[in-house]
Amino acid sequence: MNKLLAGLVLLAAALSAQAAPTVFAPRSDQYDVSWGSIGLGDGTISLSPLQGNCYRYESATHPMAIVRWTYGSPKETSEFCVVDGRIVPKRFVYANDKRAKDGFTLDFDWAAHQVKTIKGGEVSLRELPDGTYDRFLIQLAVRQWVIQNAGKDSVPPLEVKVVDHRRIKAYRFVMAGREKLQTPAGTFDTLLVERVDKPGDSLRFWVSPERGYIPVKVQQIDDGELKLQMLLRK
């Protein structure tokens, strides 16, 4: 009987592990993208493996032809590794074929605790605090945090630092509630994760347990106005 019980326990554990979302599983998701009230076109967010325990996380926007001439086709690429379950950024690149002057690169040197910024031919070095992410990789960090805390009654805020080409900022995210949300991909029961550290500015993710806690809706709020919105298409 003890052997049977032990076998059932192991089986249940295996099934539970199999059912649990895997943060770093390869995937590619398509979104409808808008800037304010203007529909830009579609975008893709993908995660793919590199060598060892490292990955590439990428966002590419494909604007409609009439928009592309002025807006361009922005692309963000984050390369990172996973060390003891932690996301460790290695390199970030932002590029836009119509706005080359806006492009920049971040190289993370964790041994020296420095981040090197390359923008417009100029190179600068800044001190790099522990637990710092680039502005795109924060999406994956939030998703990992939600998965790790799913089902808990009380979840402390996620405190992180985010670096771009200008400065390093402290972000605080909270789980702000549940919401049934309609998207082009269907209707989902979601958890709302919201940045709350700066009044008037926010970053909101509606993540779906049904879809492995990926964001099915993303909003960027600046000075109280909706700037960027993404809705899952499929």
Q: What is the pLDDT of residue 68?
A: 56
Listed residue (46, 52, 135, 125) closest to 89, CA to CA: 135
Q: What is the pLDDT of residue 70?
A: 56
The domain locations on the chain are 22-232
**What top-level class would CATH report for the domain 22-232?**
mainly beta
Q: Is 1 helix (H, G, I), strand (E, B) or coil?
A: coil
Q: What is the pLDDT of residue 1?
A: 42
Q: What is the pLDDT of residue 152?
A: 86
Q: What is the pLDDT of residue 210?
A: 94
177-197 residues labelled b (16+ CB within 10 A) or e (exposed): eeeebebebeebebbbbbbee
Residues of the chain whose pLDDT is less than 70?
1-21, 64-72
H helix and E strand count, the chain = 3, 15
- What are the structure tokens assigned to 195, written together? 């940045």
Question: Scanning the structure block, which residue is given the tokens 């409609």?
Answer: 64
Q: What is the pLDDT of residue 137?
A: 96
CA–CA distance, 102 with 190 (Å, rounded to integer): 34
- What are the structure tokens assigned to 127, written together? 């001190």
Q: What is the pLDDT of residue 8?
A: 34
Q: What is the pLDDT of residue 11?
A: 34
Listed residue (71, 80, 75) closest to 227, CA to CA: 71
CA–CA distance, 82 with 88 (Å, rounded to integer): 6
Q: What is the pLDDT of residue 67?
A: 52
Q: What is the pLDDT of residue 99?
A: 78
Q: What is the pLDDT of residue 97?
A: 80
- What are the structure tokens assigned to 153, written together? 């009654």
Q: What is the C-alpha radius of gyration for the chain, rounded to an integer number of angstroms?
A: 19
CB 207 within 8 Å of CB 196: no
